[in-house]
Structure 1
C-alpha cells in the first residue's frame, strides 16, 4: 500500500494579541511586545454578551466597539496581523476559548493589556492558569493608565484616599519618568503561513461579526483613526487653554468629548497627555488658572479612580468606599426614579441633562454631578441605582470612573463631604445655564418660558399652559433630610464600632 509522504516541516508557532479595552494599533504596549517576540502575530477580540449584560454595558458602547474593530482590523492587516473576532457567553467561558485558539493556530504565547475591575482580574487569573497547564506563556502589561496602579503611593506605601495629594504625587512621578506613548515596532515578523491566514485559512473568521447584544446607534462618534487624532489635537490647540473658563457650561462646546475613545481604548491616556503637554507645556504647573492644568487634572482623576479600583475590590462589588454609608436609609420611590430617568422631575437642568443622556449616550460632566446629586440627595435614592442606569446609557461608561463619580456625588466614596456636597439644582442651573440655552435645546416645551423663570418654570404665571411637570421634591426639605440621614448612619456605625 502506497502512503503519501508525511511532511516533516514543523508547524509555525504564533503569538496571540488579545485585544480588550485597547482598540488601537498606535501606543499599544501588548501589541508592541507581541511584535517584539519575533513570532508571527494573530490578534483576537472575544465578545462576552452575557457578561456585558451583567455589567450593564450600554448598547451604544458595544456598537462603537464593533465599528472601531473594523478600523483596527484594517490597521492590523496593514502590518500583516489578522484579527479574529469570537464570541462566548461570559468570562467563565473565556479560558476554553483562548485554549482552543492556541491549539488551532499553534499559539505559543499570549499578550494582552491589564484591566482593573475585579471580574476582569479573576478572568485573567483563570486564563493564565489554563495557559500554564498547556505549557503556554502569558504576558499582561500595564497600559490602561499612564502610570500603572501601585506606582503612586503614600509614604506608608498605601493608596491615596484623597485626590489632591494623589494628584501632586502623580505629577511628581509623571515628570520624573516622562511617560510617553510607546513607539510602534516596525519589525513585524512575516511568514507564508501568516499570509495564508490573512488570505484564506481564517479569512471567514476575520470578518467583524455582529455581536449578539441589543445595540444603539453610535454614529455621533467617528471611529476613524485620523478623525480621533484630529479631535485630540484640535482640543489641545483650540480649547484646552480656555477649559477652566468654559468646561462647566453645557451650552458651550468647551470639553474634549474624548471619553468614549478612552473607555474602549481607541485613544490612550498617554496620547492625551503627550498632545496636551506638547501644545501647552505650562500645563504641568500647579496653577488653577491654567486651563491645560485643569484638563490634565481630569485625566488624573481617571487615573485616581482606576488606581483605587485596582487596590480595593469592594469598588467592583457594589460596596461603598465609606463603610458607615452602608447604613444610610435610602428612600424607595419608583415613581421618582422613573421621573429622573425620563427627565420629567420638574427641575429643568436635571431633566435636560437626562434627556441628553437618553438621546446621545453622553452627558456633560457638570451635569453628571448635578443629576447624581439630585438622585442621591434630593431624592435620597441609593447611588447604585444611578450608577447602573448611567452604565446602561453611557457610550463612555467604564466602571472605575462611573463608580468613582457616583460615589463622589453620593458622599459614599473618597473625598466624602456629606454635609455640604448637596447641589441646589436651581442655583446650579442659574449659574451654569444662565440664559436657559441648554435647557431649551433639550426641553422644547419650555421654549416659551421667559428667561427669568426658565430655571423654576412653575413660578411663572403662564405655567399652566406649559406641558411640563411640577417639581417632584422640595429641595430645601430634602437637603435637611439627606444630611440628617448621613449623620444618623455615621452615629450608628461609630456606636457599633465602640460596642
Structure 2
C-alpha cells in the first residue's frame, strides 16, 4: 500500500524499519514517516541464520553493528528511539513487527524496499499480517536512484545490455530532480517519544552485539563526518582522473565507498549529488571523462539491482543465459582452495585474493581478473566464486556480486559472448607493470626481477622462491573453456529444437 495517509486518519506511533539503509539523512522511509506527523520509533532486526544462508561476510556484519551505534545516536538526537532486535531469519520478522505494533501502539510501518527474492517474500508476509490487523504499510524505493521498473525498453521490458540501459537511465535522470532529501527539509520529529527514550523501552530492545562470527571492520570508519568527507574528497580530488587511474590496483584511484553503499550508510543519490556539484560535466557521455566513467559505475549498480528485481532466477543461483546451465564445470577442490588462498602461481590473481582475505575488499579490475580466472582458466562453476566473495567482501551485495560474477562467467546479461577470456599474465603486465601491487601482497616475490614478476616460474632463480608453479596452463584452459561453452550452447539449441 503506497497511498500517503492523512494526518487525521492514523493515530498512535509510526515504525521505521531499517534494513540496508543505515542513515538518517536522505532516508525515504524515515522522511515519509516524519511527514505523517506521527511520533516515530525505529527498529533494526538482525537475522543471523539468514545471514549465514546468504553467506554474508563477518566483516560486513561488524560494519553494520558499528554503524548502528552511530545511527542510534543520530536517531536519539531527533527524538526517535532505535530498537535493535534479533530473530533467527526473515520468517521471524512478522512476529517481531506485530509484537512491536501491539507493545507501542504502532499503526503504520515505513521501510525501504529490497529486491532479492527472499526479501520480497519477507515483506509480503509482513505486509499481509499488518493489513489483517488494519495497520498501514508504506514501502519506498530508496536503494537505487531510479526505482526498478522505471527504466525499460519501448516494449516495457527490462534492458538486457548495459549501454542502451545507461543511455535510457541518463535521459530519465536528467528529466527529474533526484536530489537527496536532508532532514533540514523535513519537519523535525516531535518529542512525543521522549517517554520511550526515558526508559520505557524493554531492555531486550537494546542489543549491543550480534550472534554472528564477525571479523574486524576497523579499516572502515562509520561516523557520519568521515563517510561524507570521503565522498567529498573523492569527488574533488580523484573523480576527474578516475578513468586514467581506476584500473591500476597500486594506485589509490577508486572511491572505496562501496561498503557504505552496501549497508546504506551512504545513498547513491548522495554520491551523484556530490559528483554533480563538483563536476557538472559528469553527465556528458565521454569514455575519457573520469567523472562520467564513475557515474557509469553507479549506473552499473542500478542495472544489476533492476535486473535482480525483474528476474527472480538471479536470487536463486540460476544463470541469466539459460544455455550455460549445460556447461560442464570441472570439479577440482585443490584448485579451488589454491584460488581462495592466493596460491595459484599467477601473481596478480594471488595478490588480489590475499587482499580480499586480509581486508575484505578487492579492487574492481582485480574482481574481474580473479573471477575470469576461476570460471575460464579453472573452468569452475561461477557460483562457487560468487559464494566465496560474499563470505569475504565487506561490500558484498547480492545484485552487484551476482552481476559481476555472471558477467565474468559469460552467463549473465552481456553483449560479449563466452569467448572473452582474460589472460591473467597480460592483465598483470598491463595493470601492475612494475609489480608494485604484487609485491605488496606477495612478499615472497620481493626478490624477483621486474622482468619476471608476472611469470616468476620463468626466472632462473625461481627455485629459491617459496611460491607455487602455475596450477593451470592458460592457453590450454582458454581453448577448453571456449569449447565447453560452445558445446553447452549447441546442446541447448538442439534441446529447444527437439
SS at match of 2:91: helix
Distance 1:332 1:398 in 2: 26
Residue aligning to 2:163: 164
Q: Is the 8 A contact 1:152 1:169 kept in 2?
A: yes
Residue aligning to 2:331: 332
Residue aligning to 1:313: 312
Q: Name stretches of at least 5 consecutive residues in structure 1 with no aligned partner.
A: 1-10
1:280 aligns with 2:275: no
SS at match of 1:85: strand
Q: How much has 1:206 moved relative to structure 2?
A: 5.3
Q: Is the 8 A contact 1:40 1:191 kept in 2?
A: yes
SS at match of 1:38: coil
1:470 aligns with 2:491: no
Q: Is the 8 A contact 1:66 1:208 kept in 2?
A: no
1:188 aligns with 2:188: yes
Residue aligning to 2:388: 389
Residue aligning to 2:7: none
Q: Is the 8 A contact 1:40 1:188 kept in 2?
A: no
Q: Is the 8 A contact 2:31 2:186 kept in 1?
A: no
Residue aligning to 2:377: 378
TM-score by length of 2: 0.97
Distance 2:343 2:153 in 1: 45
Q: Is the 8 A contact 1:408 1:416 kept in 2?
A: no
SS at match of 1:387: helix
Q: Is the 8 A contact 2:248 2:431 kept in 1?
A: yes
Q: How much has 1:417 moved relative to structure 2?
A: 2.8
Q: How much has 1:253 moved relative to structure 2?
A: 0.1
Q: How much has 1:209 moved relative to structure 2?
A: 1.8
Distance 1:367 1:404 in 2: 15
1:72 aligns with 2:75: no
SS at match of 1:362: coil
Q: Is the 8 A contact 1:232 1:272 kept in 2?
A: yes
1:404-423 residue pairs with structure 2 within 5 A?
A: 404-415=403-414, 417-423=416-422
Deviation per residue, 1:432-452 (Å, 9 max, x gap): 000000000000000000000
Q: How much has 1:156 moved relative to structure 2?
A: 0.4
Distance 1:409 1:98 in 2: 40
Q: Is the 8 A contact 1:410 1:418 kept in 2?
A: no
Q: How much has 1:189 moved relative to structure 2?
A: 3.8
Q: Is the 8 A contact 1:69 1:208 kept in 2?
A: no
Residue aligning to 1:3: none
Q: How much has 1:186 moved relative to structure 2?
A: 4.2
1:26-37 residue pairs with structure 2 within 5 A?
A: 26-37=25-36
Distance 2:204 2:226 in 1: 28
Residue aligning to 1:450: 449
Residue aligning to 2:321: 322
Q: 1:312 to 1:12 in 2, by over 3 A?
A: closer
Residue aligning to 1:426: 425
Distance 1:432 1:191 in 2: 56
SS at match of 2:238: helix
Deviation per residue, 1:319-368 (Å, 9 max, x gap): 00000000000000000000000000000000000000000000000000
Q: How much has 1:191 moved relative to structure 2?
A: 4.3
Distance 1:178 1:451 in 2: 51
Deviation per residue, 1:43-73 (Å, 9 max, x gap): 0000000000000000000000000001100
Q: Is the 8 A contact 1:38 1:188 kept in 2?
A: no
Residue aligning to 1:295: 294
Q: How much has 1:134 moved relative to structure 2?
A: 1.1
Q: 1:205 to 1:186 in 2, by over 3 A?
A: farther
Residue aligning to 1:141: 140
Deviation per residue, 1:277-321 (Å, 9 max, x gap): 111101100011100000000000000000000000000000000
Residue aligning to 1:211: 210
Q: Is the 8 A contact 2:80 2:189 kept in 1?
A: no
Q: Is the 8 A contact 2:85 2:206 kept in 1?
A: no
Distance 2:73 2:205 in 1: 10
Residue aligning to 2:94: 95
Distance 1:186 1:492 in 2: 59
1:63 aligns with 2:62: yes
Q: What is the aligned-residue RMSD (CA, Å)?
A: 1.1
Q: Name the count of aligned residue pairs.
A: 488
SS at match of 1:293: helix
Residue aligning to 2:484: 485
Q: Is the 8 A contact 2:360 2:394 kept in 1?
A: yes
Deviation per residue, 1:455-495 (Å, 9 max, x gap): 00000000000000000000000000000000000000001
Q: Is the 8 A contact 1:309 1:316 kept in 2?
A: yes
Distance 1:263 1:207 in 2: 24
Q: Is the 8 A contact 2:72 2:81 kept in 1?
A: yes
SS at match of 1:228: helix
SS at match of 1:448: coil
Q: Is the 8 A contact 1:197 1:203 kept in 2?
A: no
Distance 1:54 1:460 in 2: 45
